[in-house]
């Protein structure tokens, strides 16, 4: 099994460490097997539960909970239940997507980030948290200067007296370490002289939170055992600290930072006054307090795609023996353990929708976890499926113009092309009516555009500027494009696309733009230092194989991945054909999206390549759908939110009938666009196609259902290519699709063709 596939099915990490009381091994628990409801469409969801035992569980230690922050709103800056967040001019701690984003934009010394004040219910306790640095590896060049991004976890009593502390740091080579401090004795032990990369396992069925450190403080008699593990399978280190007789017991876990943030001036010679700030961050999650010998549960995945009626895939690693006593629910439904797959499973009533938040709960030896899973239920129908891209094309191209004055600028620069355009507007110009003329155009956003200060913005400033940008479009235009136009059934004033906030941005800006209505953005993080995050935590169309084969950074399995969608082809400057085409070919071969762009007052420096992308391919097998950013985002939403079922009661040997619906786009902040159903004809010819949608009946035989004739610009209608029927429609609630087939049609030659490749130079 290759690394990418292994990551996609990763369900348990096995860690073996030495403890005062026992070896710690992560494994699955749970009795029984999942039951299937007798009737109705269902999809089987699953939860993986691993645990870190701490020896034989004492009855007095069967208590505790894990604070997952699942109920905290994005942008929470003050407190949430037992966690209080602290801010300074240099640092900010804010909840983003169920995690605490602790960011440092300037150097700081012992700046408090947060305080966790758990309820300790017995004399034996274990207080822990999880954390990771939001960069896959260290990209800091020491010749630039010193970069040190630190996180300190300190356990204090009610008098503020510290017992022990763990220091973690990443940055330049001498500033990567994990150490343990006995505060009372003034002794420091280095547990590791490096920090471990936080890779992110993502795949087409499930994905997990990035690998992270687990730091725990466990009282064992008169000593505190401090353990640092890493979920990649590494025992980082362990030590003990004697508990002084006068120490008043744990009151708070205090996280703070001592950091040196690197700044450099004049990196870009065209703007020598600009300053690049290499801001950094640590992400903190799952603060927990439990009995000293109670196990620590680890729950996943972060997201999953559950196919209607399908069995849950078997875990990719050994699961260990089932254990009595674990209780798991998914969406309020009991989820017994399935010993065959090594997962807890529950059959839920089928409900279409991309990435719906479903609450899961786990109780293991008195320790409770309440968290969310992003669940997508995927419909399954005979002979048919929802196409990956509109009209069944292999990959997608987007032509955009940055820094433009509305539609006028984009239409001028791209004169001579027949490709839909995305106008990333920073100034007002033109009107929404210009978006309705073939080959169509989308009005998008390029504001905020403070690329000098983009990597230092905290939450409140990010929200203010995101709202200012969205208001700029609403105040100057009526609708973003043809699918948003009220005359075409759109909502109007639904601006969902953005170039980027100026080459890079903090995660605060990313989530603030999401709240302001943006659904696809670019370069909200960076592969190299200079932005707090990078492509391994979220993102799309950066790395075909994903960082270290993890699958991260290519397909947007979660909606937030579109907020860092790669814009990889700039035509501002000349580039040799071979290197430019290699980039295009990687995107096409991996069914991705190529976002090409440039700036006003410049001639397109890659005209041959841009026209090749625009034109129909005569020397290349893989063809592209020509789209705008908003169409891409809205189609992905429509694809995963479509409900498709085979209607056996209206079908026979010569007619296949389907029920189809695609709802919820407007409520989720997307446009309602045509979604493509593809049907494998099995070598049979089509006599007629009948679509009933929104009170209209459209037929191929009457011409009311349009023949798309291989169209590459989005529309409704049908296409037949290589023995596959593609039918694109809006699919309002209650829509149906029927295909009449010729019983005596000859078998088509569907043998594979020799792929054509582009010339090398």
- What domains lie within the chain, and their CATH numbers? 58-294 (2.60.120.200), 395-622 (3.20.20), 636-741 (2.60.40)
92, 109, 266, 275, 713 from 456: Cα distances, Å: 10, 18, 17, 11, 39
Q: Which of 284, 281, 289, 280 is nearest to 131 (CA)?
A: 284
pLDDT tens-digit profile of 262-271?
888 876 666 6
Q: What is the mean pLDDT of the chain?
A: 88
Q: How many separate helices (H) and strands (E) can be counted in the chain? A: 8, 43
Please report the pLDDT score of residue 197 as a whole number. Answer: 80
pLDDT for 641 beyond 90: yes
637 pLDDT more than 50: yes
Looking at the DSSP assignment, which residues form a beta bridge with residue 169?
Answer: 150, 177
Mean pLDDT of 113-141: 87
The pLDDT of residue 316? 53
Residues 6+ apart with CB under 8 A from 464: none
pLDDT band at 745 (very low <50, low <70, confident <90, very high): low
The pLDDT of residue 9 is above 90: no
Q: And the tokens for 639?
A: 């694809």
pLDDT digits (tens, 9 = 90+) for 474-509: 999 999 999 999 999 999 999 999 998 876 788 899
Distances (CA, A) of 404 to 107, 412, 446, 586, 608: 36, 11, 8, 29, 23
Instruction: Give the number of other CB atoms < 10 A from CB of residue 24.
Output: 22
- Going by their DSSP bridges, the two strands 395-405 and 624-627 should be labelled as parallel
Q: Which of 697, 731, 554, 565 is nearest to 633 (CA)?
A: 565
The residue behind tokens 């269902």 is 42
- Count other C-beta atoms under 10 Å from residue 429's C-beta: 17
Residue 756 banded pLDDT, cuts 50, 70, 90: very low
How far, in Å, CA of 465 to CA of 462, rounded?
5
What percent of the chain shows pLDDT beyond 70? Answer: 86
Q: How far is Cα 340 from Cα 346, in angstroms, rounded to an integer?
A: 14
pLDDT number for residue 750: 41
Whether the bond between 461 and the residue before it is cis, its omega within 30 degrees of 0, is no
Which band of pLDDT confidence, cut at 50, 70 and 90, is reported for residue 532?
low
Cα–Cα distance, 672 to 108 (Å, whole number): 47
What per-residue confidence (pLDDT) applies to 22?
Answer: 32
Phi, psi of 110 (to 5 degrees): 50, 45
Longest dimension (CA), the chain: 92
C-alpha separations of 17 from 250, 332, 563, 673 in Å? 25, 35, 39, 53
Q: State the average pLDDT over residues 664-683.
A: 97
Instruction: Give the C-alpha separation, 481 to 279, whole Å.
Output: 37
* Whole-model pTM over 0.85: yes
Q: What is the pLDDT of residue 279?
A: 87
pLDDT given at position 284: 97
pLDDT band at 386 (very low <50, low <70, confident <90, very high): very high
755 confidence band (pLDDT: 50, 70, 90): very low
Q: For residue 371, what are the contacts with CB-CB under 8 A and spacing of at least 6?
A: 68, 70, 98, 299, 359, 360, 361
The C-alpha atoms of residue 115 and residue 704 are separated, in whole angstroms, by: 65
Q: Give the span between the Cα atoms of 269 and 698, in whole angstroms.
A: 59
The model's confidence at residue 553, banded by pLDDT at 50, 70 and 90, is: confident
What CA–CA distance (Å, rounded) separates 532 from 523?
12
Does the pLDDT of residue 34 top 50, yes or no?
Answer: no
For residue 276, list its beta bridge partners.
Answer: 264
Confidence of residue 522 (pLDDT cuts 50, 70, 90): confident
Predicted confidence (pLDDT) per residue in 176-231, tens digit:
999 999 999 999 999 999 998 888 888 899 988 888 999 999 998 899 999 999 99
Instruction: Decide if 438 contacts 421 (C-beta within 8 A).
Output: no
């Amino acid at each position: 099994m290759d690394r990418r596939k292994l990551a996609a099915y990763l369900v348990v990490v096995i860690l073996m460490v030495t403890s005062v009381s026992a070896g710690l091994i992560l494994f699955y628990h749970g009795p029984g097997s999942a039951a299937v409801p007798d009737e109705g469409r269902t999809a089987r969801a699953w939860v993986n539960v691993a645990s870190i035992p701490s020896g034989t569980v004492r009855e007095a230690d069967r208590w505790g909970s894990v604070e997952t922050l699942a109920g905290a709103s994005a942008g929470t800056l003050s407190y949430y239940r037992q966690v209080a967040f602290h801010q300074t001019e240099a640092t900010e701690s804010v909840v983003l997507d169920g995690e605490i984003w602790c960011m440092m934009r300037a150097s700081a010394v012992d700046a408090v980030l947060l305080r966790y004040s758990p309820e300790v219910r017995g004399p034996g306790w274990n207080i822990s948290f999880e954390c990771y640095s939001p960069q896959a590896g260290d990209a800091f060049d020491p010749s630039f200067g010193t970069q040190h991004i630190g996180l300190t976890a300190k356990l204090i009593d009610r008098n503020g007296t510290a017992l022990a502390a763990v220091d973690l740091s990443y940055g330049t080579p001498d500033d990567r370490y994990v150490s343990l401090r006995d505060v009372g004795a003034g002794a420091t032990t280095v547990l590791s002289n490096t920090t471990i990369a936080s890779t992110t396992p993502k795949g087409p069925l499930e994905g997990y939170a990035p690998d992270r450190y687990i730091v725990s403080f466990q009282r064992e008699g008169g000593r505190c055992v401090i353990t640092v593990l890493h979920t990649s399978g590494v025992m980082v280190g362990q030590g003990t600290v004697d508990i002084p007789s006068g120490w008043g017991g744990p009151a708070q876990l205090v996280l703070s930072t001592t950091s040196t943030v690197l700044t450099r001036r004049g990196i870009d010679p065209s703007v020598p006054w600009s300053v690049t700030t290499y801001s950094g961050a640590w992400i903190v999650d799952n603060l927990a307090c439990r009995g000293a010998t109670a196990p620590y549960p680890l729950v996943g995945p972060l997201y999953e795609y559950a196919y209607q009626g399908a069995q849950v895939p078997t875990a990719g690693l050994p699961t260990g023996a089932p254990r009595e006593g674990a209780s798991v629910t998914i969406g309020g439904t009991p989820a017994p353990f399935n010993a065959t797959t090594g997962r807890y499973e529950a059959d839920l009533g089928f409900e279409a929708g991309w990435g719906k938040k479903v609450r899961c709960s786990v109780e293991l030896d008195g320790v409770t976890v309440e968290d969310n899973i992003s669940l997508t239920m995927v419909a399954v129908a005979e002979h048919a499926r929802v196409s990956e891209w509109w009209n069944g094309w292999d990959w997608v191209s987007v032509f955009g113009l940055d820094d433009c004055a509305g539609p006028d600028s984009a239409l001028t620069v791209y004169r001579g092309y027949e490709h839909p355009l995305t106008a990333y507007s920073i100034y007002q110009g033109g009107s929404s009516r210009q978006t309705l003329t073939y080959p169509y155009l989308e009005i998008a956003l390029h504001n905020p555009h403070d690329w000098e200060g983009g990597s230092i913005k905290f939450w409140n400033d990010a929200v203010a500027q995101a709202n200012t940008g969205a208001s700029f479009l609403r105040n100057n235009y009526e609708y973003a494009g043809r699918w948003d136009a009220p005359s075409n059934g759109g909502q109007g004033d639904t601006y969902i696309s953005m170039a980027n906030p100026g080459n890079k941005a903090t995660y605060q800006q990313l989530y603030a733009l999401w709240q302001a209505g943006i659904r696809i953005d670019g370069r909200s993080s960076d592969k190299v230092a200079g932005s707090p995050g990078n492509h391994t935590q979220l993102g799309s169309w950066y790395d075909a194989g994903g960082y270290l084969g993890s699958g991260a950074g290519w397909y947007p399995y979660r909606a937030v991945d579109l907020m860092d969608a790669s814009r990889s082809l700039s035509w501002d400057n000349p580039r040799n054909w071979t290197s430019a085409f290699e980039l295009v070919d990687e995107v096409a071969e991996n069914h991705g999206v190529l976002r090409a762009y440039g700036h006003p007052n410049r001639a397109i420096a890659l005209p041959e390549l841009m026209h090749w992308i625009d034109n129909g391919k005569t020397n290349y097998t893989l063809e592209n759908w020509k789209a705008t950013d908003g169409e891409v985002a809205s189609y992905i939403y429509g694809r995963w939110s479509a409900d498709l079922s085979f209607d056996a009661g209206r079908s026979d040997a010569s007619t296949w009938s389907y029920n189809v619906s695609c709802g919820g786009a407007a409520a989720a902040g997307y446009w309602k666009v045509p979604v493509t159903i593809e049907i494998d004809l099995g070598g049979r010819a089509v006599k007629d196609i009948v679509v009933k949608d929104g009170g209209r009946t459209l037929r191929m035989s009457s011409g009311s259902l349009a023949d798309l004739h291989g169209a590459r610009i989005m529309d409704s209608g049908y296409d037949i290519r290589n023995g596959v029927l593609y039918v694109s429609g809006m699919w309002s609630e209650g829509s149906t699709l029927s295909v009449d087939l010729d019983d005596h049609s000859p078998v088509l030659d569907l043998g594979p063709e020799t792929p054509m490749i582009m010339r090398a130079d």
